[in-house]
Amino acid sequence: MTNRRDFLKKMAVAGMASTIPSALISKQSIKSPSKIPDDFIWANLLHLSYNMWEDVVPEKYQIPYEQSNSTCNEARMWSHKYRPELTFDQLAWDQLLKDMVAAGMNMVIIDLGDGVLYDSHPEIAVKNAWTTYKLRKELSKMREMGLEPIPKLNFATTHGAWMGEYARMVSTQKYYSFCRNLIEEVIELFDNPRFFHLGMDEETAQNQTSLHYAVMRQHDLWWHDLHYLVDEVEKRGVRSWIWSDGAWSNPELFLKKMPKSVLQSNWYYRDGFDLSKLTGDSKIAVQLYSDLEAHGFDQVPTGSNHYNNTNMESTVEYCKGVIDPKRLFGFMTAPWRPTLSPCLERHQEAIRQVARSIKKF
């Protein structure tokens, strides 16, 4: 199995190399090895499904998308309410894949959610969800372009609207069976990917104040369920990947109990990385990059143009100075906008920021 994955990875890298100028590949930071590894990650998080929340939203955002305002902010707010149909534009998706290749990026993290008509759980699929045949075709297309597709299913209760009725069965035997079935099927659909992103972010009461149904795991139950999910991924020869913000409230416990095998994506989207000037949550988030490094965790730091157009480049510049190259697997941008045409420019700006970061790396 390992040899097969290595072969697929080499094929994807070979395709990517043909699209990237050699000048970009040879760039290096002061701390980097003499050559950037061929599998160094420059990733983009894109959403097939955007059913992460089930917010109470203003009435004007409860109308059908076709009748809503065409601005990106309107589209984003519209999609914070659970939608029974796929919130996705194929034309926007195709353009973004092309833009990523042109920028020198090499990985797409695909938030699948209820956007696939799974064989194991077809009951959660929304209207117009991709068939498994359609998904496989898109995965093949990405690989031919030199983009490595990585699956993401967010199992955090704050972002579980895509699970349908199973979101209200958390930590029961039916829930565990649901999670196991989907993990197994998705790994097979992705032909044993290198990684599987499990989400697991923002599972706090504070982050659920606007949800119709709020539930959170904490203490040993959160760790039990995390370990269950990680085990289901890793026993199939795939590496687990999560958001790291669970460490913000109790870094000592997180660093002690988190398996070293789990790839970490800490995230911070604001301005400023000078710890001597930061306070509160911002300081905690930035400090975690160094704490994860000190405890030997592999990282893919994540920036975003969610709040500003400087964060991604600043994230790359800061993290390459505090994370050992052996444990710096790459970087991810997370625009946090639906894959819809009104948000195309916002997505493209995120990609342009990564392109600038690649040139300076």
pLDDT in tens, 303-327: 999 999 999 999 999 999 999 999 9
Query: So what's the architecture of 2-360 in CATH?
Result: Alpha-Beta Barrel (3.20)
Give, in order, the Cα–Cα distances in Å from 233 to each of 55, 236, 263, 318, 338: 30, 6, 12, 31, 27
CB atoms near residue 44 (< 10 Å): 24
**Three-state secondary-structure class, residue 253:** helix
SS3 319: helix
SS3 category, 90: helix
Q: What is the dihedral of CA 64, 66, 72, 77, to 10 degrees?
A: 0
Using CA atoms, how far apart are residues 114 and 161, in angstroms rounded to an integer?
Answer: 9
pLDDT in tens, 104-126: 999 999 999 999 999 999 999 99
CA–CA dist 247, 338 (Å, integer): 27
* Contact by Cβ (8 Å): 55, 210: yes
**Averaged pLDDT score across all residues of the chain:** 90
List the pLDDT tens digit at each of the 361 positions of the chain.
Answer: 444 445 444 444 444 443 333 333 333 343 444 568 889 999 999 999 999 998 887 777 776 666 566 788 888 888 888 999 999 999 999 999 999 999 999 999 999 999 999 999 999 999 999 999 999 999 999 999 999 999 999 999 999 999 999 999 999 999 999 999 999 999 999 999 999 999 999 999 999 999 999 999 999 999 999 999 999 999 999 999 999 999 999 999 999 999 999 999 999 999 999 999 999 999 999 999 999 999 999 999 999 999 999 999 999 999 999 999 999 999 999 999 999 999 999 999 999 999 999 999 9
What is the model's pTM?
A: 0.89
Confidence (pLDDT) at 113: 98
Q: Which residues pair with 55 in a beta bridge?
A: 211
- pLDDT by residue (tens digit) across 163-194? 999 999 999 999 999 999 999 999 999 999 99
Are 269 and 303 in contact, with CB atoms under 8 Å apart?
A: yes
Helix (H, G, I), strand (E, B) or coil at 110: strand
Q: Where are the domains of the chain?
A: 2-360
**Quick count: other Cβ atoms within 10 Å of Cβ 116?**
28
Could you tell me which residues are beta bridge partners of residue 44?
108, 333
C-alpha–C-alpha distance, residues 49 and 36, integer Å: 33
d(CA 249, CA 284): 9
Three-state secondary structure of 111-163: ECCCCECCCCCHHHCCECCECHHHHHHHHHHHHHHCCEEEEECCCCHHHCHHH
- Residue 172 amino acid letter: T
Task: Count the Cβ atoms, other than its own, within 10 Å of residue 134.
Answer: 12
Query: Which pairing describes strands 302-303 and 330-333: parallel, antiparallel, or unpaired?
Result: parallel
Task: Specify the amino acid at residue 32.
Answer: S
